[in-house]
Structure 1
Amino acid sequence: MTSFNPEAPVWILDTARLGEMAQCRVLAETLGVPFTFLPLGEGFSLPPSVPDLSALRLILSFGNTAKAALALRERCMAYLQAGGTGLRPLIVHLGRPSHIPAAAFDLIIVLPQDDYPLAPNMLRLALPLNGASLSRPSFPDPGARQGGTVALYGAASKHFTHTLAATRSLVLFTQRLAAANGERAQIITGPRTTAEEAGWLKTLTAGTDVALHLFSPQTPQFQNALATGSRFVVTADSASMVADACRTGAPVWLFPLPARHTASTRLQGMMDAAGLRGMRHTLVRQGKLGSGADFTRWHAWLQRMGYVRLARPGLSTGDLIWHPAAGRADRDLALCRDRILAMPGFARSIRNTPSAPKEPEPAAVEQAAPCPAL
């Protein structure tokens, strides 16, 4: 990330995770004012000191940085009480805040895979913000893309595991999909892909017509693939890569992976099965209970709404030449922008900032209802 600039009115708490920071960046860019990335310490902690807090108006936090965002606001309030200049900053949090009351945030932008209850200050996305742009209010027609079939390979995560058997199935499906469409096939790994997973791919693609590209921060292979790929196969672990691929307008095949159940998902399943979902949601809103993720529900919604199809054995050649409907509305980023600009006092607080946007008309704010992702 670029060097920290305390004079910017919007501060993004830097998690050093590419997918998370890409979403924060695209959201900050829509606000039309300068923004900066504040590096965090070990355990997503704030630095011991920040040189100047007077310009800060909005804190953008993501995932595990929720507590750091609250601590930064407390530091600002102490600075103001000591006679410093400035205003109380607003906090917009992306993702689900864990064990923190929902009311502690000015706006919570909940990702579609998050199992987080409704709240007055909450907006739920249909897709993560990766690949979103205000200049593209609908999914583009993919046109005559010539990049062939591209498999985007993530990594084992808290909710999914990658196995040799699943990786073998991915390679075989990618080959079959490419053959059905008369295209070349390639597999691109991500920044989280482990050495073991990369080793599986090297072995399985050796001597085949599948080109393997291992992730490197020095090369734009992922961006080039998104710009040119004719169709995509995306492993189920990465919501960010699913969003990136869907927003190309090209066909996207979701590759299922073995689920990994955490203590949180087991607890939420037990409470829901006992008819205590309402109580669980109340406790989550109050910050007394953590929330989990529900990829299964979101993945089912993506299939039902025609965003993706499920990669599975036994599909016919006719099935494999599927194309999604063109022109689907993509409102997530505009909804986020409008909700932030409508927060009490925010537009006024940045009015004298270069390139500051106008407050949205009240009618536009009233229409800012999230897509029913869950």
Structure 2
Amino acid sequence: MADVRVSDDASAPRVWVLLGEGAGGNAQMCALAEALGWPFETLQLRYNRLNHVPSALLGPSVRTVDRERSDPLTPPWPDLVIAASRRSAPVARWIKAQSGGHTRLVHLLHAQAPLHHFDLIVTLPQFRLPDAPNVLHNTLPLNVLDQARLERAAQRWRPRLADLPRPWIAVLVGGDSSSYRLDPATARKLAQQAVDVAERHSGSLLVTTSKRTRADAAQALWQAIRGPSYRYAWQADDADNPYPAFLALADRFIVTADSASLPAEACATGRPVELFDWQPRAQPTGWARGAQTALAQRIGRGLIYWGAVKPRRDFAAFHRGLVERGLVGSDSPRGRVPDDMGRTVARIRALMQTAVSPSAGDRRSRNDSPCSNHSS
């Protein structure tokens, strides 16, 4: 069922947030919607088998939507749609078509569709989108730490960790992804790096795995950890998960390099962050790495712009951005965390200056936050 955030500002634009099945994208969309400060409605979309058809071929379409399991897409149409990634791109374009072109489209991460169909694309280095007037390249995901939630978690967990010597070094462990494979051998290398850091600082390790951590990798990690530590094996729907407490309490961090959200949230604390990186499954080659002629590079960028290809994610580019800004490394932080959210909000507000809501008075209300279940 769709959720709605209300506002007393009758002139505010009507905003739809198209939630998908990816927790990371959902969290970023919700954080952005909250930061804009306008009323917004979240609509949960689920997809059928047609979602595997490339967005560039589908065009504006809802043929990929499982209507029975999704929130209804009905008028009045919004002034602004916030969506993320490939699956929602045809749906967002369909909504704009239904509105007669009135709806503005803000798309996060990538679309795998011609970029000129969107009013603003907010992306990150690993997606390798080309420069364009409607493409905003950020350094970090739009994750926002809920300070109240972190403080509540810190109050619960501080007494449980009190006997461990400081500094506390949080080890935030990801797992398998489209770009990385975290196997037992890699987990043992991670454990050794963490132990070395703890011994160098005479501190303790606060280790947590995640949903993507394989059982055999977690077992190898636990067996290789030495010295004072607290270890948490991820569990679904655990209200007492110590992850937010670790973010609040740790003096420094070691974060696996397989995702963007873990480094982003660690960097947002303003404390030292070290990346644990290892060989990806496969690395971008040819024009994707700029290794061929200028003509080949232009062709490659054109193919990405038109949604004809989906390039392999280049996490090395994402990591370089963190290093260049002084956000990661043994002596980090040497730079300030960029205000990517502020930049993004400013671009959207400028975009919406010409958008007038025809139905701003039609607002439904509810007491809780529509994105409360999608925060990090």
Q: TM-score range by the shorter chain?
A: 0.7 to 0.9
Residue 338 of structure 1 corresponds to 346
Report the RMSD for the aligned CA atoms in angstroms. Answer: 3.0
Aligned equivalents of 2:326, 2:263: Cα separation in 1: 13
Native 8 Å contact 2:167 2:251 kept in 1 = yes
Aligned equivalents of 1:186, 1:177: Cα separation in 2: 12
The superposition leaves residues 51-95 of structure 1 with CA deviations (integer Å, 9 ceiling, x where unpaired) of 632052221111132233223334x34xx6xxxxxx832111101
Aligned residue runs from structure 1 range 249-260, under 5 A: 249-260=270-281
Aligned residue runs from structure 1 range 354-365, under 5 A: none
Residue 124 of structure 1 corresponds to 137
- 1:295 to partner: Cα distance: 1.4
- 1:353 to partner: Cα distance: 6.4
Native 8 Å contact 2:184 2:218 kept in 1 = no
Q: Could you tell me which of 274, 283, 289 is aligned with 2:309?
A: 289
1:90 paired with 2:75, answer no
1:325 paired with 2:325, answer no
- 1:21 to partner: Cα distance: 1.5
Aligned equivalents of 1:284, 1:12: Cα separation in 2: 25
Residue 359 of structure 1 corresponds to none
Alignment TM-score, normalising by the size of structure 1? 0.76
1:160 paired with 2:180, answer yes
Equivalent position SS for 2:92: helix
Aligned residue runs from structure 1 range 99-114, under 5 A: 100-114=113-127
Aligned equivalents of 2:47, 2:107: Cα separation in 1: 20
Residue 261 of structure 1 corresponds to 282
Residue 17 of structure 1 corresponds to 22
Q: Which amino acid aligns with 1:212?
A: R
The superposition leaves residues 159-197 of structure 1 with CA deviations (integer Å, 9 ceiling, x where unpaired) of 112122221111111112122222210211122223333
1:66 paired with 2:89, answer yes
Residue 260 of structure 2 corresponds to 239
Aligned equivalents of 2:193, 2:5: Cα separation in 1: 51
Paired residues, number: 318
Equivalent position SS for 1:279: helix
Specify whether residues 14 and 51 from structure 1 end up closer, same or farther in structure 2 by C-alpha distance, changes over 3 A only: closer
Q: Could you tell me which of 38, 42, 45 is aligned with 1:40?
A: 45
- 1:352 to partner: Cα distance: 4.6
Q: Could you tell me which of 12, 24, 31 is aligned with 1:26?
A: 31
Q: Which amino acid aligns with 2:3?
A: N
Aligned equivalents of 1:270, 1:173: Cα separation in 2: 29
Aligned equivalents of 1:225, 1:340: Cα separation in 2: 33
Native 8 Å contact 2:19 2:45 kept in 1 = yes
Residue 4 of structure 1 corresponds to 2
Native 8 Å contact 1:60 1:91 kept in 2 = yes
1:195 paired with 2:203, answer no
**Percent sequence identity over aligned pairs:** 28
- 1:266 to partner: Cα distance: 3.9
Q: Which amino acid aligns with 2:89?
A: A
Q: Which amino acid aligns with 1:298?
A: F
Q: Could you tell me which of 221, 229, 238 is aligned with 1:210?
A: 229
Specify whether residues 124 and 270 from structure 1 end up closer, same or farther in structure 2 by C-alpha distance, changes over 3 A only: closer
The superposition leaves residues 321-365 of structure 1 with CA deviations (integer Å, 9 ceiling, x where unpaired) of x34236x1522101100111111556533895699xxxxxxxxxx
The superposition leaves residues 286-342 of structure 1 with CA deviations (integer Å, 9 ceiling, x where unpaired) of 333333422112212322331112xxxxxxxxxx5x34236x152210110011111
Aligned equivalents of 2:96, 2:169: Cα separation in 1: 47
Query: Which runs of 5 or more residues in structure 2 are unaligned?
Result: 7-13, 52-63, 147-164, 364-376
Native 8 Å contact 2:17 2:42 kept in 1 = yes
- 1:250 to partner: Cα distance: 0.6
Specify whether residues 268 and 61 from structure 1 end up closer, same or farther in structure 2 by C-alpha distance, changes over 3 A only: farther
Specify whether residues 209 and 47 from structure 1 end up closer, same or farther in structure 2 by C-alpha distance, changes over 3 A only: same
Residue 189 of structure 2 corresponds to 169
- 1:25 to partner: Cα distance: 1.2
Q: Which amino acid aligns with 1:324?
A: P
Query: Which runs of 5 or more residues in structure 1 are unaligned?
Result: 81-86, 134-144, 310-319, 356-374
Specify whether residues 291 and 67 from structure 1 end up closer, same or farther in structure 2 by C-alpha distance, changes over 3 A only: farther
341-350 or 292-301, which deviates more:
341-350
